Amino acid sequence: MHRPAAVTNFWANLAQSRWMTPHAFQYYCAVSGILSSALFLFGFVAADFVSPIKPYWSAEQTAHHYRAHTNRIRIGASLIVLSGLFYMPFCAAISSQMRRVPNLHYVVQQLQLSAAAAGLWTFILPGIILATTSYRPERSPDITLALNDFFWICTLMPWQTFMVQNFCFSYAIIIDQRKKPLFPKELAIYNMIVPFFWTGSTGIHFSKYGAGAYNGAITFWVLGVTFCFQLALDAIFLMRAIHSEPVGGEQIVDLFPNRIPKDPEAGASGSRTGMGHTSFLDHTSSNGASMAKDE
């Protein structure tokens, strides 16, 4: 397909601009963590759910709140769903930076990213439920009450995938023993401690009163504040790690990071491969070394 020279030059200049560099793209992903946190919070503010409605309200009281704040709740539902859009790029950037840690087995990085993909629905599904609840506010109050309970339980009860993410991220930080690690060890401690503040929501369905209810101090305020603050804090340190990455990229750890170069058993197994032959591991390592020289 023939294109005018001006169009070709435009796309060429755009591709070579500083806004399209690998560093820039990673910065966009890192900032997405802050945007995800902010949109999730503003969704609750827009829906007039800060502080939350009372779990012990009757069906008529709950339905009245949805009728009186229908448009605000619909806006809040849209913001909550939209927050999930920015969560995945943020987690992908963390996974990418984790790959830079020497001797980090790829299962750690993959587990972090898999947990992020599952945790994405903790943003999207509650927003969809809230949108459904506000879609027909004139329906039977009993149905509205049931959907309202469904929304709060789906929002606050699933913390497990986020704990897996935090532990994988903390593990990568801890084993990075270089003089200039990507992330400070204090960030690992914070990411390991914070998930335990979320576990109180496991029993959210046992109570309609007090700190354990979905409007309580443990299940809403502590969980919400620590979760949103953690996303913003991790995003800031993630941007620092991205800034330290060489412009031309850097060599990622070996395909087999658990292999010890001077392991006697490795040498013995190498001798068993026969004269004039090398093992697959040695072949991989030599390829990696030659690639590094070429770079």
Mean pLDDT (10-residue bins), the chain, 295 residues: 75 79 89 94 94 94 95 96 94 93 90 93 94 95 96 94 95 93 94 93 91 92 92 94 78 52 47 41 42 42
pLDDT at res. 250: 62
- Give tens-digit pLDDT for 192-240: 999 999 999 999 999 999 899 999 999 999 999 999 999 999 999 999 9
Backbone angles phi, psi at 279, to 5 degrees: -75, 165
Q: What is the DSSP string of 76-104?
A: HHHHHHHHHHHHHHHHHHHHHHHTTSTT-
Whether 147 and 129 have beta carbons less than 8 Å apart is answered as yes
Whether 95 and 112 have beta carbons less than 8 Å apart is answered as yes
| C-alpha pair distances (Å), 122 with each of 47, 175, 245, 255 | 17, 29, 31, 33
pTM of the model: 0.78
Whether 105 and 257 have beta carbons less than 8 Å apart is answered as yes
Instruction: List all residues 6 or more positions away from 137 whose beta carbon is below 8 Å from its beta carbon.
Output: 63, 66, 67, 70, 144
pLDDT at res. 288: 43
